[in-house]
Amino acid sequence: MEQGQKDPQTVTPTGARAQPFNIQGVRTIALNNVLTRSGAVTELFRTDWPEISIKPGHVILATMNPGAITDWHRHTRQTDHLIAIGGNIKLVLWDGRENSATRGQHDIIRFGVLRPLIAVIPPGVWHGLRNESGATAHYINVNDVPYDHSNPDNFRLSSEHGQAPVDL
């Protein structure tokens, strides 16, 4: 009988990711749920946290239907800070930046209410999201550049037409 393949370490004893991210500039910031008499409180974003290096320029709330997949997209100027506030979301990232030391690498981050965190996505990194919940998922995106309706900083690839660098 085969011995099988031993699982690699994926988390540390504190629950942090065991391996560094493959993509330069991608990182996560752990958030904590504080249980109270009436429920829970989670601080989502503070500009005085040492891990936060931006001043918010634009904040959106997005919803994803059960099983929904976004298009692959990237920004040239803005840094995204994604925070799932409902459901479970799979975030897939791919580095297509011309002069990046990690060009061609990809990463996967799963987060949601049970694993609250901020996923930081630098400009130029392609990313797409999948709602892995059986219900609507919600996330907040805090970024550093106000949205320009006349000239959106948003570039898309279609996952339906074989343009996606990695499967979502």
CATH number of residue 32's parent domain = 2.60.120.10
**15 part of a folded domain:** no
Asked, for residue 14, whether it belongs to a domain, the answer is: no
Question: Mean pLDDT, to the nearest integer, of 85-93?
Answer: 97
pLDDT digits (tens, 9 = 90+) for 59-68: 999 999 999 9
Residue 78 pLDDT greater than 80, yes or no: yes
Contact (Cβ atoms closer than 8 angstroms) between residue 22 and residue 109: no
pLDDT at 160: 64
Q: Which two tokens stand for residue 155?
A: 């570039």
Domain membership flag for residue 38 = yes
**C-alpha angle with apex 164: 121 to 123, nearest 5 degrees?**
20
Q: In sequence order, what are the residues at sequence separation of 6 or more whose Cβ sits closer than 8 angstroms to the Cβ of residue 62?
A: 138, 139, 140, 141
Mean pLDDT, residues 81-99: 96
Give 120-155 pLDDT, tens digit per residue: 999 999 999 999 999 999 999 999 999 999 999 999
- What pLDDT does residue 147 have? 94
Question: Distances from the Cα of 111 to the Cαs of 84, 87, 99, 138, 155, in angstroms?
Answer: 7, 9, 29, 11, 24
Q: Which structural domain, as residue segments, surrounds residue 124?
A: 27-157
The verdict on residue 4 lying in a domain is: no
- Residue that the structure tokens 């995106």 belong to: 141
What's the pLDDT score for residue 3? 86
> Tens digits of per-residue pLDDT, 11-51?
888 878 888 999 999 999 999 999 999 999 999 999 999 99
**Could you give the number of structural domains in the chain?**
1
Is 20 within the bounds of a domain?
A: no
- 10 domain-assigned: no
